[in-house]
Amino acid sequence: MAALKTTLVLLLIAFAMLASVGAVRVGPCDQVCSRIDAEKDECCRAHGYSGYNSCRGGRMDSIIMGKQTRVDPPTATFPYPITKRLNILSQPRKGFVDTSDGPGYTQSGIRKSALNGHPSDRVNDIAWPWLRRLMIVKKTYRNKFDQERLEKLDRMIEASNGTLYSKLAHCTIDLKRQQDAKDFGKKRGWTESEWKKHMDYIGTVAAPKKEFRPPPVKRGKSAPLEALMPRINEISSPPEFKCYKRESKQIWYKDPIKVPPAALKYQITDRVKKLAAPRSLPDA
Q: What is the mean pLDDT of residues 104-118?
A: 76
Q: What is the mean pLDDT of residues 258-267?
A: 89
3 confidence band (pLDDT: 50, 70, 90):
low
pLDDT at residue 198 in the model: 93
Q: What angle do CA 84, 85, 89 make, to 5 degrees?
A: 120
Q: What is the mean pLDDT of residues 126-144?
A: 89
CA distance 172 to 134: 12
Q: What is the mean pLDDT of residues 87-107?
A: 70
Model confidence pLDDT, tens digit, residues 195-239: 999 999 999 999 998 888 899 888 888 889 999 999 999 999 887
For residue 29, the tally of other CB atoms under 10 A from its CB is 21
Q: What angle do CA 63, 69, 72 make, to 5 degrees?
A: 125
pLDDT at residue 89 in the model: 87
Model confidence pLDDT, tens digit, residues 50-80: 555 555 544 444 434 444 456 777 788 878 8
Residue-averaged pLDDT of the chain: 76
DSSP state of 252: T
Query: By mean pLDDT, which of 34-38, 48-52, 148-152, 240-244 is the weakest?
Result: 34-38
Model confidence pLDDT, tens digit, residues 149-203: 999 999 999 889 888 888 888 888 887 777 655 655 566 778 899 999 999 999 9
Residues sharing a CB contact under 8 Å with residue 25, sequence separation 6 or more, in sequence order: 56, 57
CA distance 161 to 174: 9
Rg (CA), the chain: 56
Q: Which among 47, 86, 45, 55 has a CA at the least distance from the CA of 69?
A: 86
pLDDT at residue 35 in the model: 46
Asked if residue 184 lies in contact with residue 173, where contact means CB atoms within 8 angstroms, the answer is no
DSSP assignment of 37-106 equals: HHHHHHHHHHTT-SSHHHHTT-SEEEEETTEEEEEEPP-SS--S-EEHHHHHHHSPPPPP-TTSSSPPPP
pLDDT at residue 190 in the model: 83
| CA trace torsion 15, 19, 22, 26 (10° rounding) | 180
Helical pair 131-140 and 147-161, crossing angle rounded to 10 deg: 160
Is the entire prediction scored with pTM above 0.85?
A: no
Q: Which among 93, 50, 91 has a CA at the least distance from the CA of 73?
A: 50
- 106 burial (CB, 10 Å; 0-12 / 13-18 / 19+) is exposed
For residue 47, the tally of other CB atoms under 10 A from its CB is 13
Asked if residue 78 lies in contact with residue 86, where contact means CB atoms within 8 angstroms, the answer is no
